[in-house]
């Protein structure tokens, strides 16, 4: 696999920020190093195993020389991205590098493998390849992750990070706590707060 995660490492870093959970936390946070790690579900460690979304999906940092004819151009804040089947690319002199989905990008369709994830009792997002989408009249728009959201799997590009005696999976500024839901290993997006 041709992956170079050093390329464009500063592109889209803002989409690793986490929105505040709309639900009240009934559990006390895990506290370590002056920070509180808030989750709705109890910590349940399981090893991080990146999920494979199929042959059309590529992890962040993956480099290709040509795009499929089905790729479209999406512009966000004067930056052009090429989008194809759930994957975003930025052009380089010699090809294209996969980047994180840019917050604010709107596309008309999502891959059939996209799943619905519950943000709260009245709101759902769509999840594919580590990106979160909200549906509106214009299509599907990339939004920041919302704390408390449970996802079934994580893409390549994460790093297991030991904080005290708990291990999280970290993507940029987003932490995922391993949890178990109905006997299945999943991940909950953590809300991290600086505490005195």
pLDDT band at 12 (very low <50, low <70, confident <90, very high): very low
For the cut 60, the answer to whether the pLDDT of residue 55 exceeds it is: yes
What does pLDDT average to over the chain?
A: 89
- For the segment 136-159, what is each residue's pLDDT rounded down to a tens digit? 999 999 999 999 999 999 998 889
- For the segment 92-103, what is each residue's pLDDT rounded down to a tens digit? 989 999 999 999
pLDDT score, position 150: 96
For the cut 80, the answer to whether the pLDDT of residue 13 exceeds it is: no
Span of 5-19, 44-58, 62-76, 165-179 with lowest mean pLDDT: 5-19
For the cut 70, the answer to whether the pLDDT of residue 69 exceeds it is: yes
pLDDT band at 177 (very low <50, low <70, confident <90, very high): very high
Residue 54 backbone zone (phi > 0: left; psi -120 to 50: alpha; other: beta): left
pLDDT score, position 104: 94
pLDDT score, position 15: 54
pLDDT score, position 93: 86
């Amino acid at each position: 696999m041709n992956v170079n995660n050093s390329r464009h490492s500063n592109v889209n870093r803002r989409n690793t920020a986490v929105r505040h959970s709309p639900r009240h936390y009934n559990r006390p946070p895990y506290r370590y190093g002056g920070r509180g790690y808030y989750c709705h579900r109890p910590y349940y460690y399981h090893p991080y195993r990146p999920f494979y979304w199929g042959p059309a999906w590529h992890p962040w940092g993956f480099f290709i020389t040509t795009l499929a004819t089905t790729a479209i151009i999406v512009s966000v804040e004067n930056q052009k991205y090429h989008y194809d089947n759930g994957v975003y690319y930025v052009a380089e002199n010699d090809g294209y590098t996969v980047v994180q989905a840019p917050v604010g990008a709107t596309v008309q369709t999502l891959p059939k493998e996209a799943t619905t994830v519950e943000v709260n009792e009245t709101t759902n997002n769509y999840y594919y390849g580590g990106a979160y989408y909200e549906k509106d009249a214009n299509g599907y728009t990339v939004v920041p992750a919302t704390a408390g959201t449970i996802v079934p799997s994580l893409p390549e590009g994460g790093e297991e990070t030991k904080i005290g005696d708990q291990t999280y999976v970290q993507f940029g500024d987003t932490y995922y706590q391993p949890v178990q839901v109905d006997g299945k290993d999943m991940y909950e997006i953590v809300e991290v707060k600086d505490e005195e």
